[in-house]
Amino acid sequence: MTSALSTPRLAALARRRPPPPAGPAGRCDLCAEPLRDVHRHLLDLEEGDLMCTCGACTVLFDGNAAGGRHYRLVPDERRELLGFRLDGSLWAGLGVPVDLAFFSVSGSGEVTARYPSPAGALRASVHADSWRRLTEANPVLAELRPDVEALVVHRARGAAEHWILPVDDCYRLTALLREHWTGFAGGDAVWEHIGTFFADMRASRR
């Protein structure tokens, strides 16, 4: 069930660097207008790429149907799931062998888990019954927006982080893991960076 990221869309998620800050010279990837330092992203559903967008283009694609099957506006909402129910049985059913992963749902309803390993980023398809049981225990997952949001779970080293995050944050987390992971278990440094990542998520909500 587990394999290296291989399809173009999934492989792009693991390979690409997070979008660089726009800065004073940054321009919209659609219309080339100057970007503000803080801006939104579009997900190219065909290529798996994130695109920086200006305010006007953000408004243009701000709608469930906008962009059709090609582009999807990445939301800017971060939701910490307090009281999330995920016992050992539910976690085992998801088929993830490590305690840090994120789960996304495609437009067709397929659920994919992505997680780090000594061999790099791996992916696994999540059985529909396992995801259904998790959703029954946590109805908030029914609100997960296909392709552009993910359930992020961090249970390693006593952590209990459960979030729904936009995929651009997941890109950043993937890049952080790729940069700092060492050895078989990642090393102390990578877990410190991961802790900082979630602390930053919590601070951004405040």
Higher pLDDT, 33 or 37: 33
d(CA 74, CA 184): 33
Question: In the 8-state DSSP scheme, what is residue 70?
Answer: T
pTM value is 0.81
d(CA 7, CA 169): 21
Residue 165: its pLDDT value, please?
A: 96
Res. 15 pLDDT band, cuts 50 70 90: very low
For residue range 66-100, list pLDDT tens digits in order.
556 788 999 989 999 999 999 999 999 999 998 99
* Averaged pLDDT of the chain: 84
Tell me what the mean pLDDT of segment 19-35 comes to.
71
Dig out the tokens for 157 from the structure: 């080293």
Share of the chain above pLDDT 70, in %: 84
